[in-house]
């Protein structure tokens, strides 16, 4: 079974998406740490 991984590193948020068969996993986090 194949896996597709996508990461978008933006200015404020970083998004990640993993598609594994019929399952989809998503995550979002701040790109820059809090000062």
| pLDDT tens, the chain, 35 aa long | 899 999 999 888 999 999 999 999 999 999 887 76
Count Cβ atoms below 10 Å from residue 17 Cβ, excluding itself: 14
In 3D space, the residue among 8, 4, 2 whose CA is nearest the CA of residue 28 turns out to be 8
Please tell me the predicted confidence (pLDDT) of residue 35.
63
Strand segments, DSSP code E, in the chain are: 3-9, 13-20, 23-30
Q: Is 28 helix (H, G, I), strand (E, B) or coil?
A: strand
Please tell me the predicted confidence (pLDDT) of residue 22.
95
pTM: 0.73
CB-based contact 33:13 (threshold 8 Å):
no
């Amino acid at each position: 079974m194949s896996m597709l991984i996508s990461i978008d590193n933006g200015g404020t948020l970083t998004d990640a998406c993993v598609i594994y068969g019929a399952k989809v996993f998503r995550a979002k986090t701040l790109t820059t740490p809090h000062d």
